[in-house]
Structures are given as C-alpha cells and as structure tokens.
Amino acid sequence: SQTIHQWPATLVQPVGSPLSLECTVEGTSNPNLYWYRQAAGRGLQLLFYSIGIDQISSEVPQNLSASRPQDRQFILSSKKLLLSDSGFYLCAWSVRVETGSGYTFGSGTRLTVV
Amino acid sequence: DQQVKQNSPSLSVQEGRISILNCDYTNSMFDYFLWYKKYPAEGPTFLISISSIKDKNEDGRFTVFLNKSAKHLSLHIVPSQPGDSAVYFCAASAYNNNDMRFGAGTRLTVKP
C-alpha cells in the first residue's frame, strides 16, 4: 500500500534561518507531488507541484523553493525564513494525470517562525 | 484568485440533525469535486467525491450534491455525530490538470 511520510511534525525557527521540510512517498511510482500551506484561519494554499524529477511548478511567488531530487522525494526549502512563513505545511501525492484520483496528504508540519 | 469558495467559516449543528456544508466555484473547467475532512494537526483525509456527469453521490451518512449551472456543491451529513466535528474542505480539479484547488474550509461542530 502507498504511504506518505512528512517530517518534522513541528518546527520552531528564528526569522532569517533556513528551512528544509522533507516528504517521501512509498508504494507508488511517478506520483504527482504537492506542497500546500494552511495559514492560521485560512484554507489550503497550493505552493508547489511536481509531475516528475526536477519538474517543479510554483503557484505563489515567495521566498520558498521546492526540489524533487528523486521520484518519490519532495523537499520544501527556504534560505531565510520570514514571520509570514509560519503555518501548517502539508505534502500530498496523487496518481499522475488521472482526474478525480484525489490526493493523499501527509500528517503535516507545524512551522512557527519567531 | 479564489476559484473555490466556502463562504461559511463555521457551522454548529445538534447531534442527530443534518449538517449542510456549501461550496461555490468559478472555473467552468472543473469537472471533479471532492470533500476532505481535517482534524487539528493532521493532514486532510478524503471523504467523498463527485464527477461533473453526476448531480448526486451518496456514501453512508454523506451525500454530495452538484449543481453545475449554479457552480455550487454541497455536502450533507445525516445524522450528524460528534465525531464529525472537524474542518471540511471542498476541492475541485479539471481534467488533465495536475493540481487541485481547495476552499478555505468550514469548521463543523456537532454538539451532543
């Protein structure tokens, strides 16, 4: 069966520090991968999605970046965190180009920038 | 650009009664709609979906209705249970698109 792992679960980082959140998927090949953010009191905002290795699409201009060095690994990074980067970050995967397959989400990372 | 909208941030319902959560969308290319349920500090989990060729899909206590002309869908939960208390997200996708758009969510509270 397919599983998705996301870590760490919680993170407190000072402003200006770097960030690296990792997400891996098991039990499937060539998944679409996504990073979402849920800010306090807001919905799920799509940050990045990837349809293949080194193929990243960005939805929102920001100081975050994403990379996909391997087929089932998706990394969210920042060189210098801002206070506004605080939020709940979710990684998700879906079957490639199959409408309606839905997403499977990881358990999320609560990031607090102080 | 909010393509999927959930205009009610919260809803409170008595146990045993019906919960109705609403969702509107603007993109006429959307052809698949989903509802996700999310508990605090967890990722959303898939609840129920409907394709644009249908106007109703039922799964146990959960029914989703789609009105394409109005670009509106709703989730009915009957009877509501305290364990249904969570944030519900509406989502939509278009054929051959690689992403899905989510609404802002509605927090449902079911009171015993």
Residue with tokens 């939805």: A59
Which of B98, B101, B102, B107 to mutate: most A Cβ within 10 Å? B98
What confidence tier does A100 reach under pLDDT thresholds 50, 70, 90? low
| Beta carbons of B42 and A108 less than 8 Å apart | yes
Give the residue from chain B lying closest to A91, CA to CA: B43
DSSP string, B84-97: G-EEEEEEEEETT-
Q: What count of residues does chain A have?
A: 114
Give residue-wise pLDDT tens across range A15-66: 999 999 999 999 888 888 999 998 766 778 889 989 889 889 887 767 899 9
Backbone φ, ψ for residue B26 (5° rounding): -115, -25
Contacts of A104 in chain B (CB under 8 A): 46
Q: What is the mean pLDDT of residues A82-90?
A: 93
